[in-house]
A and B are shown apart, each in its own frame.
Chain A
Amino acid sequence: DAKTTQPPSMDCAEGRAANLPCNHSTISGNEYVYWYRQIHSQGPQYIIHGLKNNETNEMASLIITEDRKSSTLILPHATLRDTAVYYCIVLSIQGAQKLVFGQGTRLTINP
């Protein structure tokens, strides 16, 4: 079973910030939070990952709660091209793992 839970769908207006939540209440101390997105019929694309500090890159920001039981992916100025399914997964950096994805959140950006 997936170790994360996400809302099945969300909508956001173009130009606004999209905030995608993820719950991972059983996360272990050595596990990171990773976010990927999948545009229809393509392979998932890496967005960002973090351990306990907030992270930002050119695509998004990741906010992780102090207890690490949940996180939020922020797309600061959503565009129509951000319409996709977003997956949150937790895993440790090294070692072979049974990497299980949940159902993700289908984000629709509306003009």
Chain B
Amino acid sequence: DGGITQSPKYLFRKEGQNVTLSCEQNLNHDAMYWYRQDPGQGLRLIYYSQIVNDFQKGDIAEGYSVSREKKESFPLTVTSAQKNPTAFYLCASRHVRTGELFFGEGSRLTVL
């Protein structure tokens, strides 16, 4: 079935380590997004991408990096520069005709 797959679902890292969250979609969507969610809060936009090899910063891009080398993939790297990385991370892609957003199940990152 078509959809968005995020991995890993749970991830633990030590302070000072970089970690990469995977987001893969087989929906043939051009636009992809990364959001961060803290407990009891809404979704905050980290980065988004319209096409391959192009991406834009969202509201909270500091301490994060992304790449878009393939249409299907939009990995997010949480760098050691991110001061408070413990959060729930959501990836989404967007249907070009209807505009509907499709979300993955999320990755929960905990920094020890």
Residues of A within 8 A of B (CB): 2, 32, 34, 36, 41-46, 49, 85, 87, 91-104
Contacts and interface: CB of A to CB of B under 8 A. Distances in A.
Contact of B101 (A36, A41, A95, A98): A36
A43 B23 CA distance: 13
Interface residues of B, number: 31
The binding surface of chain B is classed by DSSP as strand
Nearest to B42: A103
Given A43-B90, A49-B99, A94-B99, 16 more contacts: A32-B99, A36-B101, A43-B104, A43-B106, A44-B43, A44-B101, A93-B98, A93-B99, A95-B50, A96-B48, A96-B49, A96-B50, A98-B59, A101-B43, A101-B45, A102-B42
Question: Per DSSP, are chain A's interface residues mostly helix, strand or loop, or mixed?
Answer: loop
Interface of B: 4, 31, 33, 35, 41-45, 48-50, 56, 58-59, 88, 90, 92, 94, 96-106, 108
B91 to A, nearest CB: 8
Contacts of B58: 98, 100
A50 B107 CA distance: 30
A45 B58 CA distance: 21
14 contacts: A34-B99, A41-B106, A44-B103, A45-B103, A46-B101, A49-B98, A93-B99, A94-B99, A98-B58, A100-B45, A101-B35, A101-B44, A103-B41, A104-B42
